[in-house]
Structure 1
Amino acid sequence: MHFNQTNHHKKNILVVDDTPDNLRLLSAMLTAQGFEVRKALNGKMALTACQMVLPDVILLDINMPGMDGYQVCQQLKADDKTCEVPVIFISALDDVVDKVKAFDVGGVDYIAKPFHGAEVVLRIENQINLRLLQVRLQEKNFLLQEALDNLKSAQVQQIQNEKMVALGQLVAGLAHEINNPISFIYGNLQYAGQYVQDLVNLIEVYQQEYPKPTPKIQQISQDVDLNFMIKDLQNLIGAMYRGSDRIREIVLALQHFSRHDEAEMKRVNIHEDIENTLVMLQYRLREAADRPAIIVVKDYGNLPLVTCYASELNQVFMHLLNNAIDAIEEKVGNQSFNPYSLIPLDGSRSTWEDTPVPALGETSKPQWLFPTPQIRIHTEVTDLNTIKIAIADNGPGIEESLRSRLFDPFFTTKPVGKGSGLGLSISYQIIVQKHRGNITCTSSVGQGAEFAIEIPIGQPEH
C-alpha cells in the first residue's frame, strides 16, 4: 500500500510503549512510510525524549507501569514547550480504557491494538495536517493582531498629533486673549487704589475741617456706614490684586504648558513643568463640597536639566495627575460616610481665596473628619543616567487583572463619558517611543496606585 508522503516527510514520531514488540512493530511500520521514529519504554523516558527533540506526533500507550499514559499526557500538556504536540493514545481492545479521560487530559485521537498500518498512518497524517493548519492559523492571527496593534498605534499617534496642534492653538489663543485684559486690570488697579486712598484722605480732611456735618450728610454717612466702607475698600482692592495676580499666574502656566512654539527637543526644568501643571489643576485640588482639599506632597530630588519634548511631557503629567484626582474622587464617592463628617468642624464656609492647596506639612483648613486625600510626587536621578518621576495617590487602587491593559488604546475603567481610554496610551507613546523611556504602574487594591516614569537625561541628536 502506498501513502502520500509529502506531508509527513521525515516527520518525527515518538512511540511510547512498555512492550518492546509493539515498539518494533510500530517503528518498522512508520519508518517504511518515511517517518523518523524514536522509541521510549516508559513515561519518564518519553518526557526526557521530548525535551531533547520535540516530536511532531506522540503515540502513547495508556497502560504502563509506574507512570501511565494519562499522567504522561498531563505533564506534556502542562509544559509550554510540549503542550502543542498532538498525542494519540494506543491500547489493546480488551483493556478497560476510559476514553473520556483520554480526551480530557489532552489526547487528540485513539488507536486500538492490534494495529492496522493504514489506519495508524492515516490518523498520524490527519494530526500532522491539523497541526500544520493550526500553526498557519496562529501565524495569520499573529499577523492580524500585529496589524491591528499597528493600526491602533497609528490611530493614537494621529489623535495625539491632532490634539497637540489643537491644544497648542487653543491654549496660545486663550492665553493671549486673557492676558491683554487682565494686564489692563492689574496695571490700573494700582491707580484705582491710589485714587481711592486720595478720596479717603479727602473725606478725613473734610471731617476734621467740618466736624459738625449737615443733617443730610449725617444721614448719608449713617446709611452707607462710612467707617466700614472705608475699611472694607482696602480689603476689596487687596482681593482684586490677588485675584488678578492669580489669573496672570494661570496664563503663564498655560503658556508654559502648551509651549506651542517649542516643537523640538530642548533642555527643561522638570520641576517647573510639574509646578505649571499643578497650577492648572488647582481648581480640582481645592476643597470640594464632599471632600477636603487634596494635599500634594512634593518629594523632589536634585534634578539636572532634561532634554525632552516639553509640551508632550507636560501632557503626561496632566494625564497622570488628572487620573490620580479621579481615583481619589472615586474612592470618596464609593465610601459610606456619616453626613456630619463632611461639615467643617468650625462650621465655617470659605471662598477660593481661603482654600489654597496646602504646602508640604500643612493641613487643610477647616479640619474634616475624613481621611486626608493625598497625591505624592517623587523625583530622583537613577544610577542609569535617567530621571524618575513617580506620581502616587491614596485612591482605591487598580486590580491586577486590569493593570496589564492600562496602556492599551481605548481601554478605560471609567464610566461612559468620563474617559476616552487614550490618556495612558498617549502617555506610553510619549515616554516609551518618543523619549526611549519607560512607564509602569504599581498598585494595591484599597491602597492607591503609583505611576512611575523614567526617561534618559539626554537624548540622541535629532
Structure 2
Amino acid sequence: MMTNISNKGFVLIVDDNPTNLSVLSEALGSEGLRFRVAVDGESAIAQVERNQPDLILLDVQMPGINGFETCRRLKANPVTQHIPIIFTTALADIDSKTKGFSLGAVDYIPKPFAQEEVIARVRVHLRLKLLNESLEQQVSDRTIALQETQVQLVQQEKLSTLGELIAGIAHEMNNPISFITNNIPPLKEYIAGVTELLRLYEQEYPNPTAKITTFIEDLDLNFLLQDLTKILSSFQLGSERIQLLSTSLRTFSRSDSDTKLFVDLHLGLDSTLMILQHRLKGNGDRPRIEVSKSYGKLPKVNCYIGQMNQVFMNILANAIDALDEAITQGKMSNQIPQIKIATEINSQQMVVIKIGDNGIGVPERLKQRLFEPLFTTKPIGKGTGLGLSIAYQIVVKKHNGTLEVSSQPGIGTEFTIAIPTY
C-alpha cells in the first residue's frame, strides 16, 4: 500500500529562475502536492523558520547566499536541521555533489529537469520522512518480525549515508593535508639554509652596524631561530595527526555492503577509536576516559568491514555515554573512567572482541531488552534505541556470530562479540 504523502505539509521550492520554478511547480502540482516558492536563500530561511516544510528543493546557484550556504545555515539550526534537502543543480561534478552531501543534503536532481524524475525523488524522500516520523507508532502496532525488517532498512540507510559523508570528508581533507605535509620538508631546508647564512654573516662580519645590532636585539634572533624549529616540528606533528585521522575516516567508511573481505579487525577498532577521540578527551565535567587495549594475535576475518565498524562505533559510543552519565550522577567517586578492549581466538576458532566500561551498569530486568528495536535506557532525546539492535543484526544475522552483554549496576558493562573467521 502506497503511503499518502499529499495530505500533509508542503514542499518548498527555492530557485531564482522563473522557468525552473514553473517546471517544478507543474511537476508537484500534477501529483497533488502542496508547495511554496522562495527566490533566494535569505527568504527561504525566513519562510522555513516561520512554517516548516516537509521537504526543500534547493537551487545551488542563486544570487546572494548560494544553495550550499543556505543548506549549511538550515542544518546549523536545531529547529530546521531535520528537514530533508534535495539540491537542484546543473553542476554534475563529483566535488559539488560531495560538498552537498557533506552539508547534509539527501539527494540531487540534475538540470534540465525531467518531470518523472522530480516526482519520483520527491515522493521517495517525502515517504521516507513520513516513515521516520511514524516509526515509533508503527512498531507498537506491528510484530517483532516487522520490527527487525525496519531495523535492517534503517541500518542500511544509516551505513550508506554515514559512509558517503565520511568518505566525502576524508576526500576533501586529502588535498590540503598533502599540500602541508609535502611542503614541510623543503621549508625545513630553507629555514636551515637561512639560519646557516645568518651564522656565516655573524662569523665574517662580527661587528655589524648599530642599526643592525639594535634590530637583532629587538627581534631576539637566537630565540626566533630556535622557536622556528619548534614551530616546524609542531606543524609536522599536527599534519601527521590529521593524516592519521584521514586514514581512520577512510577505513571506517568502507561500507563493502555487498562483499565480504578478509580484514584486520584491529584496524577497524583503532579507526573507530580515532574518530571518537574528541569524546574521550577530558573536559570541565569529567577527566579523560582511559582506553586500555589487550589485543591478541588474530587472523584476518572474512566480514563486512563497514558494518563491523558500525558495531564498534555503536558499542563504544554507548560506553562513553554510560561513563558520562555515571559521572553526572556522581556514581564514580574517585574512579578513573575506563574502557577496556580485548581480542582473542576462542576454542571454537571464533574471533572474540570484548568491550567493557566501568560506568553505571544496567539492571538485570533491563539487560535482556538492550537489543530490542527502539528500546533505550537513555533520557528522551538522547538515544534512538536503534544502536544496539543494529549491532545485533549485523553480528548475529549478517555474520552468524553472537553478541552478548554482562552488566552489574554500579560496576560496569561488557559486550562480547564473537564471529567466525571464514
TM-score bracket relative to the smaller structure: 0.5 to 0.7
> In structure 2, what is the equivalent of residue 442 of structure 1?
406
- What's the CA shift for 1:337? 9.4
> In structure 2, what is the equivalent of residue 398 of structure 1?
362
Structure 1 residues 436 and 336: alpha-carbon distance in aligned structure 2, compared to 1, 3 A threshold? closer
Using the alignment, how far apart are the partners of 1:233 and 1:259 within structure 2? 39
The letter of the residue matching 2:421 is: I
> In structure 1, what is the equivalent of residue 229 of structure 2?
234
The letter of the residue matching 2:154 is: I
> In structure 2, what is the equivalent of residue 252 of structure 1?
247
Give the secondary-structure state (helix, strand or coil) at the position aligned to 1:377.
Answer: strand
Q: Is 1:156 paired with 2:120?
A: no
Correspondence for 1:282 among 271, 277, 282? 277
> In structure 1, what is the equivalent of residue 335 of structure 2?
371
- What's the CA shift for 1:197? 1.2
Partner deviation per Cα, 1:232-288 (whole Å, 9 max, x = no partner): 111110010010011111111111111145631111111221122122222222333
Using the alignment, how far apart are the partners of 1:261 and 1:435 within structure 2? 14
Correspondence for 1:329 among 324, 333, 347? 324
Q: Is 1:430 paired with 2:390?
A: no
Using the alignment, how far apart are the partners of 1:146 and 1:306 within structure 2? 39
> In structure 2, what is the equivalent of residue 410 of structure 1?
374
> In structure 1, what is the equivalent of residue 184 of structure 2?
189
Check whether the contact 1:385–1:457 (CA below 8 A) recurs between aligned residues: yes
Structure 1 residues 262 and 406: alpha-carbon distance in aligned structure 2, compared to 1, 3 A threshold? closer
Using the alignment, how far apart are the partners of 1:176 and 1:237 within structure 2? 25
- What's the CA shift for 1:413? 1.7
> In structure 2, what is the equivalent of residue 316 of structure 1?
311
- What's the CA shift for 1:194? 1.1
Larger CA deviation: 447-456 vs 292-301: 292-301
Structure 1 residues 215 and 418: alpha-carbon distance in aligned structure 2, compared to 1, 3 A threshold? farther
Structure 1 residues 371 and 178: alpha-carbon distance in aligned structure 2, compared to 1, 3 A threshold? same
The letter of the residue matching 1:293 is: R
Using the alignment, how far apart are the partners of 2:219 and 2:238 within structure 1? 26
Moved over 6 A (4+): none
Using the alignment, how far apart are the partners of 1:289 and 1:211 within structure 2? 54
Structure 1 residues 314 and 403: alpha-carbon distance in aligned structure 2, compared to 1, 3 A threshold? same
**TM-score, length-scaled by structure 2:** 0.64
The letter of the residue matching 1:380 is: E
Q: Is 1:217 paired with 2:181?
A: no
Correspondence for 1:176 among 171, 177, 194? 171
Check whether the contact 1:172–1:260 (CA below 8 A) recurs between aligned residues: no
Structure 1 residues 379 and 411: alpha-carbon distance in aligned structure 2, compared to 1, 3 A threshold? same
Identity %: 46
Structure 2, unpaired ranges of 5+:
1-138
- What's the CA shift for 1:443? 0.6
Check whether the contact 2:256–2:305 (CA below 8 A) recurs between aligned residues: no
Using the alignment, how far apart are the partners of 2:218 and 2:335 within structure 1? 48
Give the secondary-structure state (helix, strand or coil) at the position aligned to 2:276.
Answer: helix
Give the secondary-structure state (helix, strand or coil) at the position aligned to 1:406.
Answer: coil
Correspondence for 1:382 among 327, 333, 346? 346
Check whether the contact 2:255–2:307 (CA below 8 A) recurs between aligned residues: no
- What's the CA shift for 1:431? 0.7
Check whether the contact 2:257–2:307 (CA below 8 A) recurs between aligned residues: no
Partner deviation per Cα, 1:273-324 (whole Å, 9 max, x = no partner): 1122122222222333333322222122222221111100010011111111
Using the alignment, how far apart are the partners of 2:255 and 2:302 within structure 1? 17
Choose 1 or 2 for highest CA Rg: 1
Check whether the contact 1:259–1:311 (CA below 8 A) recurs between aligned residues: yes
Q: How does 1:6-85 map to 2 (within 5 A)?
A: none
Structure 1, unpaired ranges of 5+:
1-143, 339-369
- What's the CA shift for 1:152? 2.0
Give the secondary-structure state (helix, strand or coil) at the position aligned to 2:371.
Answer: coil
> In structure 1, what is the equivalent of residue 301 of structure 2?
306
Larger CA deviation: 184-193 vs 257-266: 257-266
Give the secondary-structure state (helix, strand or coil) at the position aligned to 1:449.
Answer: strand
Using the alignment, how far apart are the partners of 2:362 and 2:214 within structure 1? 67
- What's the CA shift for 1:391? 0.4
- What's the CA shift for 1:390? 0.9
Structure 1 residues 229 and 274: alpha-carbon distance in aligned structure 2, compared to 1, 3 A threshold? same
Give the secondary-structure state (helix, strand or coil) at the position aligned to 2:143.
Answer: helix
Using the alignment, how far apart are the partners of 1:176 and 1:399 within structure 2? 43
The letter of the residue matching 1:318 is: M
Check whether the contact 1:169–1:260 (CA below 8 A) recurs between aligned residues: no
- What's the CA shift for 1:436? 1.3
Give the secondary-structure state (helix, strand or coil) at the position aligned to 2:379.
Answer: coil
The letter of the residue matching 2:355 is: I
Using the alignment, how far apart are the partners of 2:257 and 2:215 within structure 1? 59
- What's the CA shift for 1:380? 1.6
Check whether the contact 1:285–1:294 (CA below 8 A) recurs between aligned residues: yes
Give the secondary-structure state (helix, strand or coil) at the position aligned to 2:320.
Answer: helix
> In structure 2, what is the equivalent of residue 166 of structure 1?
161
